[in-house]
Structure 1
Amino acid sequence: MPVRNFLRKIDLTHPDKLDTLVENRRVFNLENCELNVFECYQQTYRLPLTFNDFVITSMVRGKKIMHLFDKPEFAYLPGESVIIPANETMVIDFPEATTETPSQCIALAVDGSYINNTLQYLNTYYNTEEKNSGNDWKLQFNQYHFANDTEIADLINKLIRVCSSADTAKNIFADLSLKELLIRLVQSQHLLQIESESAANTNHSRLHYVLHYIHDNLTDKISVDVLSRKAYLSRNMFFKWFKEQFGITPLEYINRERIKLAKQLLADNNNSITDVGLQCGFTDVNYFVRLFKKTEGITPGTYQHSFKS
C-alpha cells in the first residue's frame, strides 16, 4: 500500500467519562452527516457494526482486523480509510487494544440523499461524452480499503475539526469539505473503473483510449501534447478535463503507474535501480528515486532489499 498520510490525533475520552471499554462512542451530529469517534480499550473479537448510511471510516490510532464483504480479512491501520455502503455489516477484531494502547477510529456517516445530490451535480456539470456512454459518476466499492493521500487526510482532518467545534456556521463549512471529500472518492473509483475497462475496450470513450495509450507507452516518453491530440482537446482543456474526471493531473497519473511498474521490477534483485528507472520511462534516475520515496515512503533500494530476506 502507498505511503499513508496520518490523521491528527484526537484526544481520548477521559476515563471517568467512558461508557464502555469496547467501542466507546462519541457522536457529533450535523445537518448532512454524523461524525462518530470510536475507542476500544480491551482485546475484543468478532464485534459487528452496521450503519444505516454510507460511511467513511479512518483509523487514528491502534489496529483493527476487518472482516468485510465476504472478502479475506485485512489489517486496518492509522493512515488508512475504508468506505462502506449503507446497511453493510463490518465484523471487527481488536487484537492489540488495551487501556495503555487503545484503538481509535472515526466514522463519518453521510446522508443518502446528500450523496445522490452530489452525484447528480457531477453528472450534470462534469460529464460530456461519458454520460452518453453509460459512465455516470457513482460510488463503487472495488477499492474500499486505501491509504489516505494528502488531500483525503486534510479533508477528513478538517471535517473532524468542524464537526466537533462550537462554531454556529459549522454546517456550512462541513458541507463544503464533505462535498469535496465525496468528489475525490468518486473520482478515485471512476479512475479504477475506466482502467479496468480500457484494457479490453480501448475505444469505448476517449477516457478509455487515453488510459490505454498511456499504459501501452508507459516505458517511453509520453508527451502531454500527444495525449491532448489523442483526446482531440487543446493542451489546456485536456489538463482540465483529465483532472475533473480523475482528481489528478496526467503527469501524476503517469508517474503513479510508472512507480507501480517499478515495484514489480524491483522484486527481481538482478535489476539495478538505474535500469529499473530507465525501463519505467524515467530518464533522470535521481528524480525516479525522489519520486519513489515520496510515493512509497522508502527508497527503491530499501524496497528492493526487502525482497532479499
Structure 2
Amino acid sequence: MPVKSYLQAVDFTNPKYLQKLVENRRVFNLKNCELNIFESYQQAYRVPLTFNDFVITSMVQGKKVMHLYDKPSFEYLPGETVIVPANETMIIDFPEAANETPTQCIALSVDETYIRSTVQYLNEYYNPGDGENSNWRLQFDKYHFNNDADVASLINKLVRICTSSEASRDIFADLSMKELLIRLLQSQQLYRVAEEKDHHTNNTRLHFVLHYINEHLTENISIDMLCRKAYLSRNLFFKWFKNQFGITPLQYINRERLKLAKQLLANTSYSVSQVGIQCGFKDTNYFVRLFKSAEGITPGTYQAISSYKK
C-alpha cells in the first residue's frame, strides 16, 4: 500500500454541544464552498448521506465502510479521499465508532458553477489541442484514492481557512479550492490517459508518449527522446507534461517502474538488485530509497511480506 498523506488533526466537538452521536455535523459556509465536519461516536449501519453539490470527502480519524455506485463496498480510512457527484447518495457503515474511538471526516461541497468555470479555464489555457476527447472533465470512475502530499496540504489549508474568522477567507478559500480542483483533474487526466494508452496509442500526443514510456520502462528512457516523440522542445515538453498531469515525466516514469517492481517482488525470486535492474534502475541504492519513499517499506521487506502471504 503506497504511503498516504494524512490530514492534520481537527478539534472534536465539545461533548456538551453534540446534537447526535452518528454523523454529528458542523457546517462552515463560504461563497463557493461549504466545509462540513462529521463525527460519529457509536456504531451504526446503512446511514445515508447526500449532497446537492459535488463533494470532496476526506477521512481524518477512524474507519467507515462505504457503499457507492452499486459497486462493492470498501473501507474508508485516514489518509484517503472520496469524491462524489451532486445528488449521489452515499450509504455508510460505522463498524468501530465509539466514544473512545470516534470517526471524523471532512466534506467540502463545491458549487457546480465554480467547477464548470475551473474546467473551462483548463480547457482554454492548458488543453493539449489533440482533439475533443482530450478535453478536461471531472470523472467518477476513480473516486476513492490515497492522498498525496499536495492534496493533503490543500485540504488542510482549506479546513484552516473555512474555520477561521478572517474577513478575507472567501478570497483565500477561492484560490486554494481552485488549486485543489486542478490537482484532482490532473490526477484523473493521468489515470484516464494511462488506462487508454494501450488501446488508443495514436489517439493523442498524450497517449503516444505514455505508451512509449511503458513500452520502454526497462530501458534507459531519454527525456530528449520523449521530447522528439512529442515534437516539443525540452522546456515546452516539461511544461506541457506537468500542466496535463501535475507531475514531471521522471515522476511518472519512476511511478510506473515501481509498479512493475512490486509485481516482480511479489511473484518472483529475483533479488532486490535484480528487480531494480529489470525495472530500469541502474543504481540499486536509488531504487531502494525511491521504493521506501513511495511505499513506506524497503523492497526487501515488501518481498518478505508478499512471500509470507502466499
* SS of equivalent residue, structure 2 residue 134: coil
1:296-307 equivalent positions in 2, closer than 5 A: 296-307=295-306
Provide Cα deviations, 1:232-267, integer angstroms capped at 9, x if missing partner: 000010000000000000000000001111111111
Match of 1:30 in 2: 30
Tell me the alpha carbon deviations over residues 188-221 of structure 1, each in whole angstroms, 9 at most, x when there is no partner: 1111111122101211111111000000001111
Percent of residue pairs identical: 66
Q: Which amino acid is the alignment partner of residue 146 of structure 1? A: F
Aligned CA RMSD, in angstroms, stands at 0.8
Q: Which residue of 1 aligns with 2:78?
A: 78
Is contact 2:37–2:105 with CA below 8 Å preserved after alignment?
yes
- The residue aligned with 1:247 is 246
Kept after mapping to 1: 8 A contact 2:128/2:134 = no
5+ residue gaps, structure 2: none
The Cα of 1:2 is off from its aligned counterpart by 1.6
Q: Which residue of 2 aligns with 1:57?
A: 57
Q: Match for residue 8 of structure 1?
A: 8
Q: CA deviation at 1:149?
A: 0.3
For residues 56-111 of structure 1, the C-alpha deviation after alignment (integer angstroms, 9 at most, x for no partner) is: 00000000011111111111100000000111111111111000110000000000
In 2: Cα distance, 1:219 partner to 1:279 partner: 6
Q: Which amino acid aligns with 2:186?
A: Q
Helix, strand or coil for the counterpart of 1:35?
Answer: strand
- 1:1-309 mapped onto 2 (5 Å cutoff): 1-130=1-130, 132-309=131-308
For normalisation by structure 2, the TM-score amounts to 0.98
Q: Distance in 2 between matches of 1:3 and 1:280?
A: 20
Q: TM-score of the superposition, structure 1-length normalised?
A: 0.98
Determine the C-alpha separation between the residues in 2 that align with 1:244 and 1:41: 42
Residue type of the alignment partner of 2:85: P
Q: 1:211, 1:248 → 2: CA distance?
A: 13
Runs of 4+ in 1 over 6 A off after TM superposition: none
One-letter amino acid of the structure 2 residue matched with residue 172 of structure 1 = I
- Per the alignment, in what secondary structure is the counterpart of residue 134 of structure 1? helix
SS in 2 for 1:298: coil
- AA aligned to 2:139 is Q
For residues 143-194 of structure 1, the C-alpha deviation after alignment (integer angstroms, 9 at most, x for no partner) is: 1111100000000000000000000000000000000000000011111111
Partner Cα distance (1:303, 1:71) in 2: 29
Q: In 2, Cα distance between the equivalents of 1:208 and 1:265?
A: 25
CA distance in 1, matches of 2:198, 2:287: 26
CA contact (8 A) 1:142 1:189 kept: no
Distance 1:106 1:133 in 2: 35
**Rounded Cα–Cα distance in structure 2 between residues aligned with 1:307 and 1:247:** 31
**Paired residue secondary structure (1:46):** strand
Q: Quick one: distance in 2 between partners of 1:299 and 1:269?
A: 16
Asked whether the 8 Å contact 1:269–1:307 carries over to 2, the reply is no
Residue 118 of structure 1 aligns to which amino acid in structure 2?
T
Q: SS where residue 107 of structure 1 aligns?
A: strand
Once residues 65 and 272 of structure 1 are traced to their aligned partners in structure 2, the CA distance between those partners, rounded to angstroms, is: 38
**Matched AA of 1:221:** N
- Secondary structure of the 2:26 match is strand
Distance in 2 (CA, whole Å) between partners of 1:67 and 1:171 is 33
SS in 2 for 1:265: helix
Unaligned runs of 5+ in 1: none
1:269 Cα shift?
4.8
The count of corresponding residues between Structure 1 and Structure 2 is 308
Distance 2:42 2:268 in 1: 43
Contact preservation (8 Å) 1:60, 1:79: yes
